[in-house]
Amino acid sequence: MRKKLKDYRHAVWDWNGTLLDDTWLCCESLNLLLHEDGHPLVDPVRYRQIFQFPVIKVYQAIGFTPDETSFRAMSVRFMAAYEARKHECRLHPHAESLLAALTALGLTHSVLSAYERNLLTATLAQYTLTRHFIKTCGGSDIHAGSKEERARRHLSDLAVRPADVIYIGDTAHDAEAAEAMGVDCVLVAHGHQHRDRLTEAGVRVVEGFAELTAEL
């Protein structure tokens, strides 16, 4: 029988695409690079079908053949476009109410993100969400690599039993990070990966936070 959200003691949240509705901006930022380099653009559906970790594979899927040096240069260009407009993004519907409801039920929260740690900290403050999280863990750079090893350290730092933790993300890689932690996972299909990709991860998939809120 599936465990109820209220029966967990801690929730680990992904940030980009999960709590923050920024998939549209990532797609537009990628298209800016594609336009500048003379490649065909991708629509939002195609973007969500090809998005994956490590992000270098996204560039390969749309015709780039980056080596490590050129990928890092593209990452800098992408982040410049993204950061210039990230203030236009909003939280997904019911994000704050779900956080508050779970807190009221006794859960604590943390963030495990591929987003660079200083940018993550500043952005959480921008959305006045810092108060919700007892720990935030961002990446060491802007290149959005794997989260699996950081996930294991994250759980160790929390000192919470894996059985008491639920991981909430929006990509198959979040399921991989949850597996590395040995914790349960639910993926939300309103973010960076298409639902068809999420169902391949073998964990529970929901359409959005309203579905989770209705269970509380």
DSSP state of 16: B
| Three-state secondary structure string covering 167-178 | EEECCHHHHHHH
Q: Which two tokens stand for residue 36?
A: 């500048």
Tell me what pLDDT residue 66 has: 73
pTM score, two decimals?
0.93
Tell me which residue has tokens 């508050």: 100
Between 68 and 19, residue with greater pLDDT: 19
Tally the residues of the chain: 216
- Secondary structure letter of residue 41 according to DSSP: P
Distance CA 70, CA 76 (A): 10
pLDDT (tens digit, 9 = 90+) per residue, 123-165?
999 999 999 999 999 886 554 556 888 888 898 889 899 999 9
For residue range 46-92, what is the model confidence (pLDDT) as tens digits?
999 999 988 888 988 887 877 778 888 888 999 999 999 999 999 99
Q: How many CB atoms lie within 10 A of CB 118?
A: 9
Residue type, 135: K
Mean pLDDT of 108-126: 93
User: What is the distance between the alpha carbons of residues 23 and 21, in angstroms, rounded to a whole number?
Assistant: 6
pLDDT value at position 140?
65
Find out whether 189 and 206 touch, Cβ atoms under 8 Å: yes
Per residue in 196-215, pLDDT (tens digit) is 999 999 999 999 999 999 98
